[in-house]
Amino acid sequence: MKVLVLNGSPKKQSDTFRLTDAFLKGLNRNGEHEVNVVNVIEKNIAPCRGCFGCWQQKKGHCVFEDDLNPILDMYCDADLIIWSFPLYCYGMPSHLKALLDRTIPLVKMDMEMMNDGTVRHKALVDFSKIHTLVICGCGFPNWEGNFDAMKLMCKNCFGNLNMVCVPETPMLNVPAAAVVADPLLARFEKAGEEYCASMTLTPETIADLERPMISAEDYIRNVNGG
C-alpha cells in the first residue's frame, strides 16, 4: 500500500503529528507499506489563481510550476492519504488549504448530479481507490462546534473518509501530562493496526481516540495557570 501523509503543521513534530506518527507505527508495523511524508510548510505552493488552465489541458497538473505537481502525482498514486493538521480558526492552516485548493486539476469542468442530489465536477482520476484519513488536533477542550466547519469541508472534498478530531492536543508535549498522553498515543498506534487490517476505523475506535484526556474544567485551569 502507498501512503501519502500531508503534514499541515508548521512544525515537523507538532502535537497533532505525534498522533499521526503513532498511527503510522501501527499501520506499518511490518514495514510492508511505502510511506511518504510531505511537510507542506516546506513546499512552495502558491494559492490557486483561478485561471482554470488545468481544466483546459486536462493533464492532472497545474499550469504553474511550483512544488505542487509532484505532490499531485503522489496523490493520484496513493492508496491512502492522511491529512494531518492542527485546527486553525476552525479549519485547515492556510498553507495546507492552498494545497487542497490546487487539487482542482484532478477534476474536470464538466459537472454531474450525484445520487444524493449534490452536484460535483467529474473526476479526471479514479478517486474510488483512494482512502482518506483526517487527523486533526485542537488546542481547546472538547467543546461542541470546534470541528464542525472542518468536518463539513472534508466530507464534501474526500471519499472513503475517516476523520479523527482530537481535543487538548497541547498536552502531548507537556511532560507532566504523560500519564494521560501516553495512553492516547498507544491507542493511536493500535488504531493504525486496525486500519491496516480493514482500511477503516470503527465508530467505537474513533470515539475512543477523540475522548478528552482530562475534563474541560481541569484543562482550562491548567491553560490559565490556575
Q: What is the pLDDT of residue 116?
A: 86
Q: How far apart are CA 158 and CA 54, in angstroms?
A: 20
In sequence order, the β-bridge partners of residue 91 are 88
Q: How far apart are CA 172 and CA 18, in angstroms?
A: 8
What is residue 133's three-state secondary structure?
Answer: strand
- Supply the angle between the helices 178-198 and 15-27 in degrees, to the nearest 10: 40
Q: How far apart are CA 226 and CA 224, in angstroms?
A: 6
In sequence order, the β-bridge partners of residue 121 are 111
Q: Report, in angstroms and rounded to the nearest whole number, the Rg of the chain calculated over CA atoms.
A: 18
Which string of b and e fits 189-212 if b means at least 16 CB within 10 Å? bbbbbbbbeeeebeeebbebbeeb
Exposed, middle or buried, 217 (CB in 10 Å: 0-12/13-18/19+)? exposed
Report pLDDT digits (tens) over 77-96.
Answer: 999 999 999 999 999 999 99
* 117, three cell numbers: 442530489
Q: In the 8-state DSSP scheme, what is residue 49?
A: -
226 pLDDT tier (thresholds 50, 70, 90): low
11 pLDDT tier (thresholds 50, 70, 90): confident
Domains and CATH numbers, the chain: 2-223 (3.40.50.360)
- Taking residues 42-71, report their average pLDDT: 96
12 pLDDT tier (thresholds 50, 70, 90): confident
The proportion of the chain whose per-residue pLDDT surpasses 90, expressed as a percent, equals 91
pLDDT at 105 over 80: yes
Report pLDDT digits (tens) over 188-212.
Answer: 999 999 999 999 999 999 999 999 9
pLDDT at 99 over 80: yes
Q: What is the pLDDT of residue 169?
A: 96
Q: How far is CA 36 from CA 43, 60, 62, 77, 81, in A?
A: 14, 20, 21, 11, 10
Would you say the pTM of this structure is higher than 0.85?
A: yes
